Every structure is written in structure tokens, then in C-alpha cells.
Structure 1
Amino acid sequence: MDAIFADYTVSMSEFKKNPAQVLRTAGEKPVVVLNHNRPAFYMVTPQLFEALLEDVADLELIEVVRQRLARKDSAIEVDIEQI
């Protein structure tokens, strides 16, 4: 069985009948569209998609910070007043 990461599910045939209504019913929550009782795709609002992209960007930045902290001993101290 596939994991479902949404509070709302709808069959492909129900989705095809009225996709806008499905989105309205879900509000800001993600919807998984099922094909033969298996997830075919997720539908999210633009706001939720943007939030997901921001979370991914944050995770990438966290990795950069970790890498830089690991090299902290080789850092060169700079006096900002001299710039």
C-alpha cells in the first residue's frame, strides 16, 4: 500500500467531473487524486506550493551552513571597520 500524504482523497473519475470543486472543498489542504486506489498525483494551492518550495530552500541553506561550520577553523577573521 502506498503512503498518502493528504487529508483529502478523491478518485480520478470524481476529480475529472469537477476539479475546481475538489480544490474548493479541500481549502488550503493538499488533495491526493487516486487512480485504482493508488496515488496518481497531489493537488495543492499556489500558496502551499510556494511554502513547500521555501521549506526546500531552507533545507538547502541548512546544509550550506553545516558545511561552513565544519570549516570554521580555517576561516579568516576580518575587521568590518577596515572595509
Structure 2
Amino acid sequence: MQRVEADVAVSVSDLKKNPTAIVDRAGGGTVAVLNHNRVMAYMVPAATYEALIDALDDQALVEVAKARAEEKGVPVSLDDL
């Protein structure tokens, strides 16, 4: 059996009938969209998606910083820039 990572699960046909009601019922949480009782997609509120993308961007920057942590700096004069 497939694990559902959402508090609300809805079929594609129910979602088509009244998407606003589904989003309201989720109360800002994630909605699993099912097709033939299998999760085919997850819907998340826009704010949650944006926060997720920001977190992923931050994680990528952490990886760059870690990779560069051992590099030695090069002295530069502001006039040289």
C-alpha cells in the first residue's frame, strides 16, 4: 500500500467538481490527489511551496559555502576592482 503524505486525500474527479472546497477543507495543509486510489500528485498552498523553494535555495547556498570553506582568500584592493 502506498503511503499518503497528507492529511487530506481526494480523488481527481472530486477535485474537478469543487477545487475551492478541497483547498478550504485542507485548511492550509497538503492535499493528496488520488487516481485509482494511488497518489498521483500533492497540492500545497502557494506560501508553503514558496517557503519550500526558498529552503532548497538556502540549502544549495550552504553546499556552495561548505565547498568553498577551505579556500584561501586573495587580498584585493578596492582600487583594483
Check whether TM > 0.5: yes
Q: Percent identity, aligned pairs only? A: 40
Counting matched residue pairs gives: 78
Deviations 1:3-62 (A, max 9, x none): 322221111121111111000110211101000111111111111111111111111111
In the alignment, residue 67 of structure 2 is paired with which amino acid? Q
Amino acid in the other structure paired with 1:47:
A
Q: Which runs of 4+ in 1 moved over 4 A?
A: none
Tell me the TM-score normalized by structure 1. 0.79
Match of 1:11 in 2: 11
User: Root-mean-square deviation (CA), in Å?
Assistant: 1.7
CA distance in structure 1 between the aligned counterparts of 2:46 and 2:14, rounded to whole angstroms: 22
Stretches of structure 2 lacking an aligned partner (at least 5 in a row): none
Q: Which runs of 5+ in 1 are unaligned?
A: none
Residue 74 (structure 2) aligns with: 76
Shift of 1:77: 5.2
Match of 2:46 in 1: 46
